[in-house]
């Protein structure tokens, strides 16, 4: 089957040639990937050719892109670009969004500064909503913590 062919190709590709984000996906999600690909008669994807594209999207989005790429035969890079899925990591863009969220939610900012740490999750959620889920969560978390000092 196509799924088994894909796993064969992945297992025989040098891990040194695959970006860390793909290594993570291959190690952590083999059953999900196998389920996603089972019974699919689509054209074969050459993951090594497109592996670098995953570094600009989140892990959740990577699963969606892989599924779409495998079923459609369209390259992952093209799917990411067409759907506007590139993760927002630019500090100036994120800083603007974070400033807006903090300005719009002064009560939550005060609660955080008074010791209610769980409010950070709420603020994080507001930033993710403002960026339509495309913000780099690690970067947002670090920037929020700094802004709340």
Any idea which residue has 């930033």 for tokens?
127
For the chain, what is the domain count?
2
Integer Cα distance of 145 and 18 in angstroms: 33
pLDDT for 34 equals: 53
Are residues 96 and 143 located together in one domain of the fold? yes
Integer Cα distance of 149 and 144 in angstroms: 9
The three-class DSSP label of residue 42 is coil
* Tens digit of each residue's pLDDT (9 = 90 or more) over 26-76: 444 445 555 555 544 444 444 444 444 444 676 677 777 778 887 888 877
In this structure, what DSSP letter does residue 45 have?
A: P
Are residues 74 and 100 located together in one domain of the fold? no
Are residues 97 and 61 located together in one domain of the fold? no
The answer to whether 86 and 134 are in contact (CB under 8 A) is yes
Are residues 21 and 71 located together in one domain of the fold? yes
Are residues 106 and 67 located together in one domain of the fold? no
Range of the domain at 52: 2-83
Torsion-angle region of 108 (φ positive above 0: left; ψ -120 to 50: alpha; else: beta): alpha
Are residues 61 and 130 located together in one domain of the fold? no
- pTM for the whole thing? 0.58
* Tens digit of each residue's pLDDT (9 = 90 or more) over 79-114: 878 888 778 888 999 999 999 999 999 999 999 999
Are residues 67 and 20 located together in one domain of the fold? yes
pLDDT band at 13 (very low <50, low <70, confident <90, very high): very low
């Amino acid at each position: 089957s196509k799924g088994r062919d894909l796993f064969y190709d992945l297992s025989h590709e040098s891990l040194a040639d695959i970006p860390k984000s793909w290594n993570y996906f291959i190690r952590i999600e083999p059953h999900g990937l196998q389920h996603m690909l089972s019974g699919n008669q689509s054209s074969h994807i050459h993951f090594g050719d497109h592996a670098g594209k995953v570094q600009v999207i989140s892990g959740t989005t990577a699963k969606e892109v892989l599924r779409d790429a495998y079923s459609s035969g369209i390259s992952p890079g093209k799917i990411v670009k067409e759907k506007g899925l590139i993760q927002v990591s630019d500090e100036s863009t994120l800083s603007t969004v974070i400033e807006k969220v903090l300005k719009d939610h002064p009560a939550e900012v005060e609660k955080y500064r008074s010791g209610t740490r769980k409010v950070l999750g709420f603020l994080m959620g507001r930033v993710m909503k403002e960026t339509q889920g495309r913000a780099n969560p690690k970067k947002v978390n670090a920037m929020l913590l700094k802004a709340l000092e």
